[in-house]
Structure 1
Amino acid sequence: MRQKILVTALVATMAAPGASWAATGLDFGESVELSANGGANKTKISRLGNGRLLAVFGDYYKNGDGSFNTVYDVKAQAERPARDLFVRTCEATSDCTLESSWSELKNISNTASKSSIATDLNGFSVVDDSDPRNPEPFYGDSEKPNLFAAGSKIVITWVDKFCPSLVEGEPSEQRSVSYLTLDNREVPFACTYAVTSSDAGATWSEPVQLSSGIRDAKQDVNRGLSTGEWAITWQEDPRGLQLGEADGPGDGASGANVSSGTDIWYSRADSFGPDGAIWSDPVRITDNFNGQTASGNFNTIFALTDPDTLEASAPVADENIESGIAGASRANLALQPGYLEGEVAQAIVAYEETKGSGGLDEGKFVRYHTFDWNSPVAWTDQADPGTAPPETAGCIISDPTLNARRVRFVVQGTPGTETNMRMGIFWKEGEFTQGGPSDIMLRKGIVDGNNGFSPAEMVPSVDPNCAVSDYLQALQLNNAPALNMSSRTEDAQATTDADIPTSTLSDDTYVKVEENAIAHRGLLRGDDLYVGYTYTPVLAELLYTNTKNYNFYIRHYDGVAGTWSAPRNLSNITDTTINVREPRLVGTPGSTAGCPADPEECRDVTRFYVAWGTQTNVSEWSLEEPSELDLYAALAEDKGATYTDVVRFAGEADDVEDFESQIQMTPAGNNLYVVWNENRDGGTHAMFRQSTTVEVADDGTDDGTDDGDSTSSSSSSDGTLFGCSYKPGAPFDPTLFLLTALAIGGLTFRKIKARA
């Protein structure tokens, strides 16, 4: 880990040209450590309608004797202690900057002390009898929590390695997979869980297991309404979690790379009783398993053979493993009230899916579904192969000739007064296969005779016949080009709706082939739509020479005026040894029952918060891994016309890595609550901090005290060599510029190959 250097900068150096800075600033209190066992993971936070704060995170489970149960982490490719999920709360009337104000840890998953299957987590040899399989209990291991709250109702979902039988008295269906490239380490499939609270986190139900583990579950999402309608989606891979392919950001094994036959599953609940929600039987809402079976498995899949010892020792034959032509992954979900009279709540689901081209095209489509939340169109494995009804194929909203992935959307219950806008949906799209440059593309959902969520109401429009499964038919779709949010970001200008055809918003993704945009975020409030993303002008230079980096930009669509702002660089980090990552763009929540008596409980739709992390920019040629650095936040006022000073709220100390922030705020936006994960002292810890807004003088200082935290800061500026950045400790090599050219050429080759 590299040593951090604090650099204090003028506010002007953090602002894009023409940016304005507010007369208010953020004043953070002391940090609070929420976790206990040094294994914190994916900390989340919610501010509930009664003002209570609720934090949930994974952490190592410690046995009564102080020991841990060991599992194998496929993503990290390392052994570690098993995790459970824990919650803590802090009351609205308490000082949450004090650790003593937070409730005791509550274990809501309770699986890390249990085992449903025995596998060989250490690995074995398939050619040497002296190194046989040696199954031992693989303990439950709770992956990242996904938290959603509406009114007094809360649902937390996750996937877990503890998957006992769903039917009492019958053996578990859970399977496992041995990874050939990981020394045949054998890891169980995961199943999906949910736990609920109907009293704002005061009490919790027992965990409910929703899937069996016969396929490997991943990427769960849950959403709900205060009136009680709730839904969950997740994906299930019949061949187990697939390893990454070393393309693109991230560590792989995230669920983006899937087997053919991977489907998106859906379950719903409309009853929150004393014992929790009652969930419907899960159904597939995609049509990828079409009755086919697997062939030529690279990794061996095992099934449970001895219910007494829990040993999984029988290899599963290919004809007993589901398959198909395509695979769906990384679904996003929303539930929204019906807009038309008498209409029930609507479910909105979008995901990426391999094209099922038989090897002709390595890219993906972005597909989209919307349906009555309690009537999903389900595809079952009892149907004849190849006879899925057309409506089970999601509408392709991306350019079918390009590679699209990472779809996200923002929705609202009431359409914009002037625009009838109810949704913004956006994704990454480009000419290249996985890991190559791409732009952020967007369509709006405008109420036009329906609820604003139907494919027919998307602007720019999509082909009315967009719900097709066949690859060759998909290529014939006549989708209007989506708006290009990120093309030529450094040169793009503000534009009106009328001038879009001559602006960068109409650029093809190949206009500036070398640029790249990732980590897209959105916010929709009435007639105002905001899209943020991180951007680099030359991806190859970032990857191979570190002479370019990622910064966080935002664009604002003012629907009343019919104008798009120019991209604004909010992070403005000029040190190319540092990247912006994991940006956040979060608007104020709805007014609570405390409004209007307490003005802080009344929503101010003109305010929102932005936050981001920083990370060392390490060359693809380096043997070092990137280090997490600092976390920053700012408050946007007047719909983003002004911003407070950018404040570093985590990362002051050397030898500490801070990352994965999550933010919440009060409806008026004067109080901000942040959680994050922090690496130090040999472990990872869940941290909390809160800020209030204060008036600041013209010189950027606050109105009374200066604790060093409310000063606008840039990231470390060490490691610069005459404008050409390099990884500290690695010698500068002039041949890197040649490698940049070769890298661009290589990416172009991948494009030609992908579209041949």
Structure 2
Amino acid sequence: MKLKKILFYCLSLITALSLSLGVVLAEDGALFRRNISKTPENETEKAAIYMMDFYVPAQASTGLVGPVDNYFLLDEDSQDDETTSAYVARNYAKPLISVYIDDLHPEEETKGGITFGHFDAFVGVSLDDGTSWKTTNLSNSSDLSSFTLDSGYDYPGDVHNVVHQVAGDNIFVAWVSKYCDGGTPFYKMDPADTEDVAYFEDLKTTYGKDALYLYDLFGVKGKQGSVDYTLQGYPEIGEIPYSCVWTARGKLIAGDDPKTEDTSEATHVVWTKPERLTSGVRDANLPAVDCAKDAGCILTWQEDPEGLRPGQGLGPGEGWSGAVANGKTDIWYSYISYADFDDVFEDSETPVATEVVPLKEFTGETLAKVYVPMAMPTRLTDNDMCKAFSSITDTTKMEDPYCYIDFDNIDAIDPLNLPTAPTAESDFCTTQIDWTTPGGSTIPICVTEDGRVLNGRVASTRVRLNLKPYSPADAVDADGDGVVEKSAWAVMAAEETKALGDMLIDPYGDPAEDPIDIGKDIWYYSFDMFAHPLVDQGGMLNQPAKCSPWTVGATYDCADYEFFPVQTDPLNGGDFYLTEIARRFALTTNSVKAAADSESGLAAMLIYKQGIINQGGPADIMLRRVVIPEDFDPAVDNPYTFENMECSEWVYTDGSNPNYLKGLCLSPAINISGSTIVECTGTAGNDACAATFPVADDGSIPEGDTSFPKVTEWRQCDGIAAIDGCESDNDLDDQTWENPFDVSKGHRGFLDGDFVMMMYAWSPNWKANTVGNDHYNLYVRRSFDGGLTWTTTPGDLGGTGTIATENYCVSTASSECEGTEFTYAAGEFEQGLNVSQLIGNKITILDPRYTPTGGLKLYPTIRTDWLTTNIGPASETLPYEDDLVRDPSKYFMIYETGDNTTVAEGEAVPLDLYYSRATVYGDVWELDPDWYDEETGVIEDYRWPWVENKAEILSGEASMLANPGGTFMYSVWNQWQEEILPDGHELVFDSDIWFRRFLYLQDDDIATTQRTPIVFIAANPQEIYSTADDEVITLFAAARDLDTLGDDPQIVEYEWLINGQPFSITDDTTNCSKDKMCNAPARVVSGNWDGHQFTNPGTKPDYFYGWYEFSVRVKDNEGNWSKGVSKRVYIAETIADAQPYSVHIPLLIANP
């Protein structure tokens, strides 16, 4: 690779020093990796990893407790030198939890594009920083069968997906399996059975569960079905049974594991018996989970009544993946609260409440059975058909009860007397219409009370979700453990296949003989996890389609740059707009506090891919900002609600249009991948090039076109910055067809207050890319004001400007490619950063991954309270310095390369994995030292260091996280070898899930610019303090100076405030003025016995009970003050007195 100036991305901070000081290179540690699964003869898939946010005594998988002492530096002459320690041995570690599926009977072949084997769901736990792993088979179903094919074959209980999440010391795992027997499904409980009635009543009275939680109102129960793919043209696949949803709950507890005899453990993980949620009456797929500490866990999945569809899409992930589905496919929802998570039967399965114990107290010899089941599954979306009658004579044709229930009065629902016909009070069948099906039959179809027609024509797929905790105004201590429970906001969206709504029309609103079943919209949902919607429409994210002036062969009447003519829905009479294809939703969210504290008020960034051609065509990456209003109340208001989506032009906000009940945004989304064409084949300028695009909206290329133009040079413009080659237009609000040639994928990102990191893979030429004649590169864009502008790192955050390289070598041989440099000042508008720098067309980018410091949940520190409470005081100072305070200026990425020569026959074959750490918020990226000449200071080739790069090994599905300080990055991935057999099938071998730990020395990137320090209040689970017990409120502030200027100590002053006023009383028991530790007796704060009255000094001798806010800020050695952070505590005479008054805003406001 040639460069006009041999530089790499974002090097301006050290460009002038490169010859003397060197560049920022790869990790400092020796190569450290472990094989987690250790089953090379079995195929392994679906690797993922999460980290708990507290310390435990370091312990090997054998149970031996002892320090981790393998933090070695990389020696120049050896990849595995273990002589020089980077860190002293550590006696404590952060628990790492990984999941995967493993095929235990590899003699079964893989048929077509779907799994056909004997996979089980596994979890791996490491308590010694990844040094060793203890694995557990959670599903144990691969050698079982619940379905016999027509051929007589007992189909194996194959697991084809597994997902997990952690919250506190709880682990939640969900999977989908072909085994649909056992698992004590809740839907089998009989509300007429005497023993079951007692169980139901206890769940009602003790745990507060209602009919929606307890009873099957949505048709969960049924017989496991199957689909015969022979009828769909795939005889080699044949008959496949439907899948069911399963969950298991784990808990890390202190003490010796009674199941082991040779060792005495400090901690161990215990698991419940797996719980089956569904019956297999529909085909379950693509589970998604998230958990929030002190709130609970949620689970969604999709269920297809006709089985997994083979798929028609030509893009990645469209075939056999669940991306497309049959009509009536709904998103289903279930949840479990944090308070109920680990209650189990003590020693029997008889539902008697007195036999309930916490999981950590369970002493049985088998796995414990959960006492409080997951909530009965409900339909979140509104895709199923509800007919305005039920067949009383044929119970198999009866409608599910939810069609006729009045959900406005849940307490009145009688499980023994559910309605079998609509009434005036039926929420989802208030009226009815006669609907003529595509086959010509007429069916009376239900119309909901808000005007939707439930005729089952559409399908929802591929949910992505987050769960964000908050403290509601009516929060209480539900389980009596002294901690007031929280709730959480669910934030999610799904693709919905259009079938162009419910109508027989073509893409332009004209009559058609058959309904079109391709194309998608993105529908968004956000709600309290315990007050979830039912059969909900959601809110549409993508803007209605506008007319391109360059469409080939257009026969419709449409003004250029204007919306297509508004249509009228023949079924409900409402207006509807035509749309492009929007799919592949992703999202990133701020915490409730981070959104409230940010300057921009940014709560979420909603991300999706959108394009003009339905099947695998050109596409851009679109962003929607969700911004909290000025009067936002964090104890009541949902910051992520659809109504908070930034939009300058709303329509139908009064709920009168049944097609857009929450309103419709006509404003364009942010086109983060949008670009201006500078030059293309035969001409120059964006509009002139766009006019040569020879493709119609339906993806067809007119006959006679023998060549397809290529874009050879491009820019990204904001309409303001003076970038050579830019036009006056702002690409950030582009329609997808303004540059119709490019294609994007792999869109992801994270929020950290006002900071936004976005990443995506992009190619300038979609058509050439589909046959391997162009390739993807990985791009990064950053915003420091909540997505309003996209710039380099501002000067007040350490930015000094950057030099970036782009390669306009579409028609140039790799050996002759010369990069073009762009120089940006600090805080200046910046085009997307090409961080992969691939040239030539042999290699392309597949799936990229990322992690901020602190992992995806942005842990601000590693807690010590769990250790202190469950084990005892630590033997050394904790948190470790690099875990003490999160460094927001660092983050990590991994990208997967693919063999671009195989794209013409399908998807690129995965090859290798590469990683880098970004510092200075992404101004600096670390490179592979093997391609840097230290003597000359020349970067001979821009390459990221490798995670795995052996020629014979294929790698993919990486998952990653990092510690708060950015000194350790952890990753797992699947790797394998494969061989194509003479019959064309793939033989997979040497397949395992691998783990790697990346190590960095502290202060490797020394900041020489003054930066504001940061502070947080260490987590303290106690929230209520008693004056009667003379309890002392003890809070600890941890701070970090983000630069290395000045003399030690870096932090020179701590300023504590209580309710906004300094609290300066200092004696033997009280010190809450200028130290990192605040000790404040509850009696002193609420009304001192010696006459001092804090709230209103000197006026009353009695106590003032209620909520008090402690806040702290720090000053560094240059005189810079940090932002303040705060924590609320409740003071009462006794703990019992506090319970009725546990009304508050978020308890812990501690993220800087």
TM interval, short-chain normalised:
0.7 to 0.9
SS of residue in 1 equivalent to 2:770:
helix
Within-5 A mapping of 1:277-296 = 278-291=373-386
Other structure's SS at 1:25 match: coil
Pick from 123, 130, 137: which aligns with 1:107? Answer: 137
Match status 1:236 vs 2:303: yes
Single out whichever of 22-31 and 363-372 deviates more from structure 2: 22-31
Contact 1:31 1:688 in 2 (8 A): yes
Are 1:260 and 2:416 matched, yes or no?
A: no
Alignment partner for residue 203 of structure 1, among 260, 263, 270? Answer: 270
Q: For residue 922 of structure 2, what is the aligned residue in structure 1?
A: 640
Cα distance, 1:69 vs. partner? 7.4
Aligned residue among 773, 783, 798 for 1:557 = 783
Change (3 A) 1:435 1:193: same
1:70 Cα deviation (Å)?
A: 3.9
Q: Distance in 1 between matches of 2:110 and 2:918?
A: 43
Q: What residue is the counterpart of 1:657 in the other structure? A: 954
Between 442-451 and 431-440, the greater mean CA deviation after superposition: 442-451
How far apart in 1 are the matches of 2:734 and 2:624? 14
Q: Which residue of 2 aligns with 1:616?
A: 899
| Residues 548 and 69 (structure 1), Cα distance of their counterparts in 2 relative to 1, 3 Å cut | closer
Q: Deviations over 1:89-118 (max 9, x none)?
A: 2213x5x35xxx222x31011111211111
Residue number in structure 2 paired with 1:123: none
Q: Tell me what 2:493 maps to.
A: 350
For 1:387, the equivalent position in structure 2 comes to none
Contact 1:146 1:157 in 2 (8 A): yes
Counterpart in 1 of 2:98? 55
Q: Is it true that 1:587 corresponds to 2:682 in the alignment?
A: no
Match of 2:768 among 538, 541, 544: 541
Equivalent residue, structure 1, for 2:127: 91
Q: Does 2:532 match 1:376?
A: yes
CA deviations 1:347-379 (Å, max 9, x no partner) are 122111012423534321110111121111213
Q: Matches of 2:272 and 2:98 in 1, distance apart?
A: 17
Measure, in 1, the Cα distance between the counterparts of 2:293 and 2:238.
44
2: CA distance, partners of 1:696 / 1:453: 37
User: Would you say 1:213 and 2:356 are equivalent positions?
Assistant: no
TM (norm. structure 1) is: 0.76
Query: Contact 1:650/1:658 (CA < 8 Å) preserved in 2?
Result: no
Structure whose CA Rg is larger: 2
Counterparts of 1:286 and 1:333, CA distance in 2: 14
2:26, 2:945 within 8 Å by CA — same for their partners in 1? no
Q: Superposed, which structure 2 residues align to 1:65-214 within 5 Å? A: 70=108, 73=111, 75-76=113-114, 79=116, 81-92=117-128, 96-97=130-131, 101-103=132-134, 105-119=135-149, 133-164=150-181, 166=185, 173-180=223-230, 181-183=233-235, 185-199=238-252, 202-214=269-281
Alignment of 1:412 onto 2:544 = no
**Number of the residue aligned with 1:15:** 9
Tell me how far 1:495 sits from its aligned partner. 7.5
- Alignment check: 8 A CA contact 2:317 2:323 kept: no
1:95-145 per-residue CA deviation (whole Å, 9 max, x = no partner) reads x35xxx222x310111112111111xxxxxxxxxxxxx4221111111222
Shift of 1:567: 0.6
2:615 matches 1:434: yes
Determine the structure 2 residue equivalent to 1:327.
Answer: 459
Percent identity of equivalent pairs: 25
> Is the Cα contact below 8 Å between 2:522 and 2:542 reproduced in 1?
yes
Map of 1:35-50 to 2, 5 A cutoff?
A: 35=37, 36=39, 37-49=41-53, 50=55
Q: Which amino acid is the alignment partner of residue 245 of structure 2?
A: T
Higher relative contact order (CA 8 A, sep 6+): 1
RMSD: 3.5
| 8 Å contact from structure 1 (residues 40, 59) kept in 2 | yes
Which has the larger share of strand? 1
Distance 1:324 1:570 in 2: 45
> How far off its partner does 1:509 sit?
0.8
| 8 Å CA contact 1:223, 1:334 repeated in 2 | yes
**Whole-Å separation in 2 of the counterparts to 1:72 and 1:676:** 21
SS in structure 2 at match of 1:115: coil
1:482 to 669, 691, 710: 669
Equivalent-residue separation in structure 1 for 2:305 and 2:893 (angstroms)? 39
- Which residue, 584, 592, 606 being the options, matches 2:889? 606
Q: Contact between 2:744 and 2:761, CA under 8 Å: does it hold in 1?
A: yes
Q: Does the 8 Å CA contact 1:149/1:155 hold for their aligned counterparts?
A: yes
What displacement does 1:621 show? 4.2
Most deviating of 143-152 and 519-528: 143-152
How many Å apart are 1:479 and its aligned residue? 2.3
Cα deviation code 1:400-447 (max 9, x no counterpart): 321111111111222152111111111001111021111000011111
In 1, Cα distance between the equivalents of 2:4 and 2:102?
A: 39
Q: Distance in 1 between matches of 2:901 and 2:287?
A: 31
Q: Is the 8 A contact 2:539 2:661 kept in 1?
A: no
Deviation of 1:539 after TM superposition, in Å, equals: 0.8
Q: Which amino acid aligns with 1:411?
A: T
Summarize the Cα distance change of 1:108–1:446 in structure 2 as closer, same or farther, 3 Å threshold.
same
2:341 pairs with 1:272: yes
Q: 2:541 aligns with which of 384, 393, 397?
A: 397
> 1:600: how far off?
2.0
Shift of 1:654: 2.4
Decide whether aligned partners of structure 1 residues 258 and 493 sit closer, same or farther in structure 2, where only a CA change above 3 A counts: same
Cα deviation, residue 179, structure 1:
0.4
| Amino acid in the other structure paired with 1:288 | N
Question: In the alignment, what sits opposite 1:312?
Answer: none
Letter in 1 for 2:775: N
2:401 maps to: none
> What's the offset of the Cα at 1:494?
6.2
Counterpart contact for 1:44–1:145, Cα < 8 Å? no
State whether residues 247 and 276 of structure 2, in contact with CA within 8 Å, keep that contact through their aligned partners in structure 1.
yes
Tell me, yes or no, if the aligned pair for 2:11 and 2:923 is still in contact at 8 Å.
Answer: no
1:9 CA drift (Å)? 12
TM-superposed CA distance for 1:680, in Å, is 2.6
Paired residues of 2:332 and 2:379 also in contact (CA < 8 A): yes
Q: How many residues in Structure 1 have an aligned counterpart in Structure 2?
A: 626
Equivalent residue for 1:517? Answer: 744
Q: Deviation at 1:254?
A: 0.7
- Whether contact under 8 Å (1:262, 1:289) holds in the other structure is yes
Q: 1: distance between equivalents of 2:488 and 2:659?
A: 34
Distance 2:142 2:742 in 1: 44
Please state whether the residue corresponding to 1:685 is helix, strand or coil.
strand
- What SS does structure 1 have at the residue aligned with 2:769? helix
Task: Choose which of 988, 993, 999 in structure 2 pairs with 1:686.
Answer: 993
Distance (whole Å) between structure 1 residues aligned to residue 323 and residue 1004 of structure 2: 48
Letter in 2 for 1:592: I
Q: Report Cα offsets for 1:633-660 as digits up to 9, x if no partner.
A: 1111121121222543344322111111
Give CA deviations for 1:254-296 in whole Å, capped at 9, x if unaligned: 1111111110000010111224563100100111112269xxx
Once the two structures are TM-superposed, the CA of residue 216 in structure 1 deviates from its matched residue by 0.5
- The answer as to whether partners of 2:625 and 2:787 remain within 8 angstroms in 1 is no
Q: Distance in 2 between matches of 1:697 and 1:341?
A: 45
Number of the residue aligned with 1:572: 837
SS of the equivalent of 2:960 reads strand
Q: Distance in 1 between matches of 2:749 and 2:122?
A: 29
- The answer as to 2:650 corresponding to 1:463 is yes
Long gaps (5+) in structure 1: 1-6, 63-67, 120-132, 294-300, 302-317, 380-391, 699-756
Note the C-alpha offset of 1:662. Answer: 0.9
How far residue 615 of structure 1 moved from its aligned partner, in angstroms, is 0.4
How far does residue 241 in structure 1 lie from its aligned partner after superposition? 0.3
Q: Which runs of no fewer than 5 residues in structure 2 stay unpaired?
A: 16-22, 56-93, 191-220, 254-267, 343-358, 360-367, 389-395, 397-440, 444-453, 476-486, 508-517, 545-578, 677-713, 792-830, 865-876, 929-943, 979-988, 1006-1152
- Contact kept, 8 Å, 2:121 with 2:137, in 1: the verdict is yes
Letter in 2 for 1:607: K
Partner residue in 1 for 2:294: 227
CA contact (8 A) 1:456 1:462 kept: no
Report the Cα distance in structure 1 between the residues aligned to 2:379 and 2:891, rounded to whole angstroms. 36
The residue that corresponds to 2:641 in the other structure is 454
